[in-house]
Amino acid sequence: MSTDVAAAKHAPRAYDAGQVALAINNIDVVYNDVIQVLHGLSLAVPKGEIVALLGPNGGGKSTTLKAISGLLRSEDGAITRGEIIFEGERIDGRDAEHIVKAGIFQVMEGRRIVADMSVVENLRLGAHTRRDREVRSDIERVFAYFPRLRERTGLAGYLSGGEQQMLAIGRALMARPKLILMDEPSLGLSPLLVKEVFGIIQRLNRELGVTILLVEQNARMALKAAARGYIMEQGKIVLDGTAQQLSENEDVKEFYLGQGAERKSFKSIKSYKRRKRWL
């Protein structure tokens, strides 16, 4: 084992309850009562931070987000062990609408905007759980962050990929979330648009104080934007640390940042049982 891996092999930082927006404690997730995807997964998302969740395809990242947002039921999935705590309230087992009202909104992989609705109609859809009279002013706020969307008056299906991603993020903002779950925001975008989208994500975090859990294949961009990160393989957290620690780790460089000659798995490097750390 390399010195860098040994240095990174530590228990995650423990947070006071008041510091944590979201705590996942030892959850297992099973699909169709047969296929187990998450195995004792634990992580914490501090309030006001961007946290990156990285790992190979099929590692369980999207399942983790769906477990948080209450969308597992639609895919015959269920949390069979453990708990998810959001701002002191246990939310595992709650339906998706309750979780949105609590302040969590997921931006799905592939954008998932409603193609045959206009931009404004899509934005209003994001505010469907609200009963206040400030929806119009919030639409204006979205246009302030995404001025390109103001110019698009046709159907959302005719927007470019980058504009659709901006609309998906804008729709999330319409719910006035405390925590946004972002699943692959750079998917299918050009390098220039990826840089623009990540700049907007950082600006939203900085200016609005929105906490963000970011699932992303572009590890380099994700670690530049995030304060800290977790790496998943086969449904488990195998490495964690600050963004700087992960960026400087030789095995992370080799496996995810394309700075090594041989691709290898973290499975043989680190495996330990997770305990409840953020209660």
User: What is the residue extent of each domain of the chain?
Assistant: 3-255
pLDDT tens-place string over residues 2-39: 334 333 443 445 556 668 999 999 999 999 999 999 99
β-pairing, 236-242 vs 77-86, is unpaired
Question: Residue 43: is it exposed, middle or buried by C-beta count within 10 angstroms (0-12/13-18/19+)?
Answer: buried
Query: Measured between alpha carbons, how far is 105 from 96 in angstroms, rounded to an integer?
Result: 9
Cα of 278 vs its chain's centroid, Å: 19
pLDDT tens-place string over residues 158-209: 999 899 999 999 999 999 999 999 999 988 888 998 999 999 999 999 999 9
Residue 90 has pLDDT above 50, yes or no: yes
Which pLDDT does position 62 carry in this prediction? 94
- CATH T-level fold of 3-255: Rossmann fold (3.40.50)
Query: Measured between alpha carbons, how far is 27 from 40 in angstroms, rounded to an integer?
Result: 5
Query: Measured between alpha carbons, how far is 125 from 113 in angstroms, rounded to an integer?
Result: 10
Ranges 30-39, 256-265, 268-277: which has the least confidence: 268-277
H helix runs in 107-225, sequence order: 119-126, 135-145, 147-150, 161-173, 191-208, 219-225
